[in-house]
Amino acid sequence: MRIAFQGEPGAYSEAAALKWRPDADVQACPAFEDVFEAVESGRATCGVLPIENSIGGTIHRNYDLLLGHELRIIGEVELPVVHALVALPDTRLADVRTIYSHPQALAQCDRFLRSLSGVEVVATYDTAGSARLISERRLAAGAAIASERAADLFGLQVLKASIQDFADNITRFLVVGRGSATQESLRLPDANKTTIVFALPNEPGSLFKALSVFALRGIDLTKIESRPIPGRPWEYLFYTDLSAGLHEFRTGRALSHLGEFAPSVRVLGSYEAVPRGGPPSE
């Protein structure tokens, strides 16, 4: 099995891919769009995409890409994210004048960054890519926010570990594949979570009616996210996670009920949810 991820070796997305399938081959991709293309073309069995962080919030770009492609969600992974400030060997924290990282990582370490003076913060496309930048360009006054594994891979030292603002910094990743055939080939357990996207007419009570079709059938909504509809100003799509499998009778009835008044309803995937109730596994 080959799993595509966005970023460089040492990226958190790579760690999430290997957590989902430790024996998989992994394929680095420059951008999220390239992950979708790799899976659609068959160069990768599936792809891993970050969708939300417990501190930084939603990665909206990946919701938009899910809508624009025909891949289906076949799994999810939660990964504790521990950021470190890494730099060339023998660099001191006082020597650092520029810090590079992905915008999400920068947001997750805002308190630490604000504690520094005389330091420029530069957003890049990837955490591990930032570590690679420091290593390849030998940036003596530069540092990156990345994982300790990325520091090891690119020959850097850790100036300061665990610099994220909150200890419970967790990113949820979605695993996407080429529809039901992929899901069957991976022999996934019975699905107990379903992600859908729907549109609603702009009229009073429409969202209340939409939510009621699930409440009436005892289906918990673990997430709901609104996104603008391209080309239709001030109209929105609603991405929703249901705590029920698509194969369940109540789910089918709820979606049929929703379809009676929602102009569009699309199932993005049905899959096994990460178990709740305990601390995240390391």
CATH topology identical between 2-80+169-180 and 84-161: yes
**pLDDT value at residue 187:** 47
> For domain 84-161, which CATH number applies: 3.40.50.300, 3.40.190.10, 3.40.50.620, 3.30.465.10?
3.40.190.10
- Which tens digit of pLDDT belongs to each residue from 27-85? 999 999 999 999 999 999 999 999 999 888 899 999 999 999 999 999 999 999 999 99
Please tell me the CATH superfamily of domain 2-80+169-180, with its number.
Periplasmic binding protein-like II (3.40.190.10)
Cβ atoms of residues 164 and 108 within 8 Å? yes
pLDDT band, residue 277 (cuts 50/70/90)? low
Fold exhibited by the domain 193-271 = Alpha-Beta Plaits (3.30.70)
What is the average per-residue pLDDT within 271-282? 66
Q: Which residues are catalytic?
A: 171, 173
In the chain, where the domains are located: 2-80+169-180, 84-161, 193-271
Query: How sure is the predictor about 231, in pLDDT bands with cuts at 50, 70 and 90?
Result: confident
Q: How confident is residue 220, by pLDDT bands cut at 50, 70 and 90?
A: very high
